[in-house]
């Protein structure tokens, strides 16, 4: 036990010593708000800022310091980083200090994450609210800084020549007057692209062409690729997106494409053999190679990298064991099978040696059904390779040339952004739909076209000696060498091949990028995917593009990053329509977590945990915030910046007013209407509506939009109708003032009349319970609560003779002579305050 105790003491002391040593190396730091971020000084770098533009004198500076070009990295016109061996840095620094036009010279630091931070003569400061201008001026004077720029967010300050900007920035923050104060660091901003650790990825020139040597001593032109790594910084795909590969089949549980990422369905083999097994037979590897470029696993330290490695592959076998094709009916069934079983994209690297676009109507109609009825009527994205022809620039094969809207016809470009020798040349004048929509990189030529060229595209292979590795046959010329192995080394090297190519390789690249597009926006139609792919293609090769299309490359070479970025611009933000003080989460679920997203909002919304990242928590700015609001996301990526469509939300409890009937007669009905501020009960998330009242009403019955109520039958008076609206954030109440008037009632008696009839008006206490309910009494609302009737007009009308008597009065009791009227039926019109009240009158003797 004692020995164990002694060992613990020694270990503890050792840890303290190591921590002390580490902290001594990190004695420099800067403040990020209240947090100290420690910096490690780099012994092999200095950052120098000159008083003026010195970049044009770089040769002279290099010569004076005795450095080559690669040891001086210019950051702007007057700032550079000097790089050399640590043993030489002291001498170099002394030489720099002798230059009279040097403003500052500082070490270059690095954070614990390795991000290099260069300190110059500028610092960024934001003062706390309530700090007076007098305090600010005093601090500026103390450190002799120059105010360069002021914005709502910061002040940019220049420190004196030779001063330590890092130290001064820290002093500002330690004064307690600043929200933040730190150097205006010079540090590299990364283009967010993802380079996977798959060992053969370096050979996948079509995805990332840096001019590297990848096979047979070949290299290409920098950036003659589809910009896959840049696209992967945005998305590597979504597991819900399914790509059907109609081909020779896909190996079950391939080491780079396991069954967890395959959808292997019963009935998916339309060729010979087991109908439920879509695996390849013998040396058939074409299906593996096509599926691999779409979906091979990324970052598993093995093999290649697929374009849409988070999506799933649905293998469908359409070739027999002897590589013969199946019937047109079988192909139509296979296309229908893919569409009806959830395929979003159908990749087809096959065709017939015919340029007739209607060669097999059953196949054409199957394609039409897939592109219109698939994906719940959004349409499957259907991609075909254009074909490989040796003579006369070839032709576009059926069904790639099928005249169906949205079907993608894919040709091949090479590692130099030129049309591959075998790729068909479009002929817009042809009646047989001889067009190429776009191209993707593949091998340059066959060895019978150029003696030193052959298959050089990389993908997965049938494990073991089957498949394309080792090589079983040449390409029609003398290459590749039969029996040669590529790759010859590496983990499971015989499960991969570097001997694939043709438009067969280009087609699945387009299918893979289509999968990335649907990963960020699965609501796009197949025609919209077609538009995105073609509109974002790069017009390369120096060919003539007329209305954006060339005969050689169609709309151009596939650009994955551009396509995904364009798709993002159509993406809707995920999240609720209501934001409370408790907070709501919004996000862009399809994006990689590394994507730089910046969120903004209306002023009644805040982001308590920051406003960056693929998801964000938004909350109502305060407990009193209520009203319409919005959330917006901006993405900055290697292919450009994109602002997504703004999402409208409601913030806080409901906001509404009431309007409607406010003056009622006794026993009469009315309506109260809810007027929602900047929205309706759906947008405000109304969950419950309660109604109540005070005053002379019998009842109120209402819903979220309005209420019906009725005045009491006994008395007038005033009161309020109350509405309480509740959503997830809370409740709000509003009220409507109303008044119930006691009307006059008029009675005509006797009726039938002989010599006269009498008109009597009753109001207030004069109205007995019997009179109120008497069917012969007519309510005459006066518009005010008073017993003063005012002047009214009497008219007596006869159906045959028209108006027979007319008179005016102010009396509440009026005798109307009828002795001069013939027997019969008349109509008594009493006009009060412009309103006509009618009563039938009979004259009978």
Active site members: 247, 286, 504
Q: How far is CA 328 from CA 196, 277, 333, in A?
A: 40, 21, 9
Contact 538, 559 (CB under 8 A): yes
Sort strands 688-694 and 717-727 into parallel, antiparallel or unpaired. Answer: antiparallel
Phi, psi angle pair for 532, to nearest 5°: -65, -45
- From residue 420, alpha-carbon distances to 275, 401, 413, 672 in Å are 37, 19, 5, 74
Give me the DSSP letters along 274-339.
-TT-----TT--HHHHHHHHHHPPSSSSSS---TTTTSEEEEEE-B-TTS-B--HHHHHHHHHHHH
Secondary structure, 3-state, 536-590: CCECCCCCCCECCEECCCECCECCHHHHHHHHHCCCCCECCCEECCCCEEEECCC
Antiparallel, parallel or unpaired: β 706-711 and 697-702:
antiparallel
**Nearest Cα to 185, choosing from 116, 233, 102?**
116
Question: Strands 122-127 and 178-183: what pairing?
Answer: antiparallel
Nearest to 591 by CA among 331, 310, 233: 233
What distance in Å separates the CA atoms of residue 207 and residue 229, rounded to the nearest whole number? 7
How far is Cα 367 from Cα 381, in angstroms, rounded to an integer?
10
Angle at 612 between CA 652 and CA 521, to 5 degrees: 85
* Pair type for strands 146-150 and 155-158: antiparallel
Spell out the residues 6+ positions from residue 229 whose beta carbon is closer than 8 angstroms to its own.
193, 194, 195, 207, 208
**Residues in Cβ contact with 24 at an 8 Å cutoff, skipping those fewer than 6 apart:** none
Token pair, residue 48, equals 């120098």
| Cα separation, 362 vs 502, whole angstroms | 27
How many whole angstroms separate alpha carbon 359 and alpha carbon 402? Answer: 9
Return the exposure string of 350-376: e unless at least 16 CB atoms fall within 10 Å of the residue's CB, then b.
bbbebbebebbeebbebbbbbbbebbe
| Ramachandran assignment for 783, one of left (phi > 0), alpha (psi -120 to 50 degrees), beta (any other) | left
Calculate the CA 665 to chain-centre distance.
Answer: 56
- In angstroms, rounded to a whole number, what is the distance separating the alpha carbons of residues 500 and 484? 14
- Rounded Cα distance between 455 and 218, Å, is 11
Do residues 564 and 234 lie in contact, with contact meaning Cβ atoms separated by under 8 Å?
yes
| Three-class DSSP category at 147 | strand
Question: Who contacts 203 (Cβ-Cβ below 8 Å, separation ≥6)?
Answer: 214, 215, 304, 458, 487, 498
Reference 73, options 158, 150, 187; nearest CA is 187
Q: Are strands 438-441 and 640-643 parallel, antiparallel or unpaired?
A: unpaired
CA 686 from centre of chain: 27
**Residues 22, 24, 30, 33: what is their CA dihedral angle, to the nearest 10 degrees?**
60
Residues 264, 278: contact at Cβ < 8 Å?
yes
Contacts of 541 (CB under 8 A, 6+ apart): 413, 417, 418, 419, 550, 552, 553, 557
DSSP 3-state percent helix, strand, coil across the chain (nearest 5): 20, 35, 45
């Amino acid at each position: 036990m004692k020995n164990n105790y002694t060992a613990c003491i020694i270990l503890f002391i050792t840890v303290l010593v190591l921590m002390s040593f580490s902290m001594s190396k990190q004695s420099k730091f800067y403040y990020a708000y209240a947090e100290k971020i420690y910096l490690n000084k780099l012994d092999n770098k200095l950052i120098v800022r000159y008083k003026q533009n010195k970049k044009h004198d770089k040769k002279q500076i290099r010569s004076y310091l005795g450095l080559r070009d690669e040891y001086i990295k210019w950051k702007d016109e007057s700032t550079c980083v000097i790089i050399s061996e640590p043993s030489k840095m002291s001498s170099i620094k002394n030489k720099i200090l002798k230059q009279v036009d040097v403003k500052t010279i500082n070490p270059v630091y690095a954070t614990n994450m390795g991000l290099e931070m260069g300190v110059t003569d500028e610092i960024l400061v934001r003062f706390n609210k309530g700090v007076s201008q007098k305090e600010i001026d005093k601090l500026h004077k103390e450190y002799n800084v120059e105010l360069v720029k002021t914005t709502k967010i910061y002040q940019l300050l220049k420190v004196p020549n030779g001063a330590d900007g890092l130290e001064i920035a820290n002093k500002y923050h330690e004064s307690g007057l600043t929200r933040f104060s730190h150097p205006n660091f010079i540090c590299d901003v990364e283009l967010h692209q993802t380079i996977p650790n798959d060992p053969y990825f370096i050979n996948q020139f079509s995805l990332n062409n840096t001019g590297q040597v990848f096979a047979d001593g070949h290299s290409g032109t920098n950036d003659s690729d589809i910009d896959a790594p840049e696209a992967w910084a945005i998305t590597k795909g979504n597991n819900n997106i399914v790509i059907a590969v109609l081909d020779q089949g896909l190996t079950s549980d391939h080491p780079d494409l396991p069954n967890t990422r395959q959808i292997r369905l019963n009935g998916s083999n339309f060729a010979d053999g087991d109908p439920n097994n879509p695996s390849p037979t013998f040396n058939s590897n074409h299906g593996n190679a096509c599926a691999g470029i779409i979906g091979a696993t990324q970052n598993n330290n093995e093999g290649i990298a697929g374009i849409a490695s988070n999506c799933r592959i649905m293998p469908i076998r359409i070739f027999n064991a002897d590589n013969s094709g199946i019937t047109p009916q079988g192909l139509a069934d296979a296309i229908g099978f893919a569409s009806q079983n959830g395929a979003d994209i159908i990749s087809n690297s096959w065709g017939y040696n015919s340029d007739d676009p209607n060669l097999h109507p059953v196949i054409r109609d199957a394609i039409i059904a897939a592109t219109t009825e698939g994906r719940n009527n959004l349409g499957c994205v259907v991609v075909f390779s254009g074909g490989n022809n040796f003579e006369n620039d070839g032709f576009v094969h059926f069904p790639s040339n099928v005249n169906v809207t949205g079907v993608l016809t894919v040709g091949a470009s090479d590692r130099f952004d030129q049309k591959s020798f075998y790729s068909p040349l479009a002929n817009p004048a042809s009646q047989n739909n001889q067009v190429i929509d776009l191209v993707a990189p593949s091998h340059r030529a066959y060895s019978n076209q150029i003696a030193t060229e052959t298959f050089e595209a990389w993908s997965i292979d049938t494990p073991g000696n089957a498949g394309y590795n080792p090589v079983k046959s040449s390409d029609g010329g003398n290459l590749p060498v039969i029996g040669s192995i590529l790759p010859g080394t590496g983990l499971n090297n015989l499960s991969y091949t570097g001997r694939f190519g043709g438009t067969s390789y280009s087609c699945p690249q387009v299918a893979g990028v289509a999968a990335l597009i649907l990963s960020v926006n699965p609501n796009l139609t197949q025609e919209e995917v077609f538009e995105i792919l073609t509109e974002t293609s790069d017009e390369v090769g120096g060919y003539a593009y007329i209305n954006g299309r060339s005969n050689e490359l169609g709309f151009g070479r596939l650009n994955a990053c551009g396509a995904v970025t364009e798709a993002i611009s159509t993406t809707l933000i995920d999240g609720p329509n209501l934001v409370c003080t408790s907070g709501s989460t919004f996000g862009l679920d399809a994006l990689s977590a590394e994507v730089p997203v910046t969120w903004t909002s209306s002023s009644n919304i805040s982001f308590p945990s920051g406003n960056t990242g693929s998801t964000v928590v938004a909350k109502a700015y305060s407990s009193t915030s209520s009203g319409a609001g919005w959330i917006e996301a901006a993405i900055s990526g290697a292919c450009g910046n994109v602002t997504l469509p703004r999402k409208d939300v409601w913030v806080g409890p409901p906001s509404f007013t009431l309007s409607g009937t406010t003056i009622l007669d006794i026993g009469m009905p009315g309506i109260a209407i809810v007027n929602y501020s900047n929205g309706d009960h759906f947008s405000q998330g109304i969950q419950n509506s309660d109604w109540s009242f005070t005053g002379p009403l019998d009842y109120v019955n209402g819903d979220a939009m309005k209420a019906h109520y009725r005045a009491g039958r006994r008395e007038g008076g005033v009161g309020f109708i109350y509405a309480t609206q509740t959503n997830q954030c809370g409740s709000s109440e509003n009220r409507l003032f109303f008044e119930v008037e006691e009307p006059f009632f008029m009675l005509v008696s006797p009726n039938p009349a002989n010599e006269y009839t009498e008109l009597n008006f009753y109001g207030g206490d004069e109205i007995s319970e019997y009179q109120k309910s008497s069917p012969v009494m007519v309510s005459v609302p006066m518009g005010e609560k008073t017993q003063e009737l005012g002047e009214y007009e009497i008219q007596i009308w006869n159906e045959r003779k028209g108006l027979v008597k007319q008179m005016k009065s102010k009396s509440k009791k009026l005798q109307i002579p009828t002795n001069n009227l013939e027997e019969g039926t008349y109509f008594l019109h009493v006009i009060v305050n412009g309103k006509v009240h009618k009563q039938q009158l009979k004259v009978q003797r």
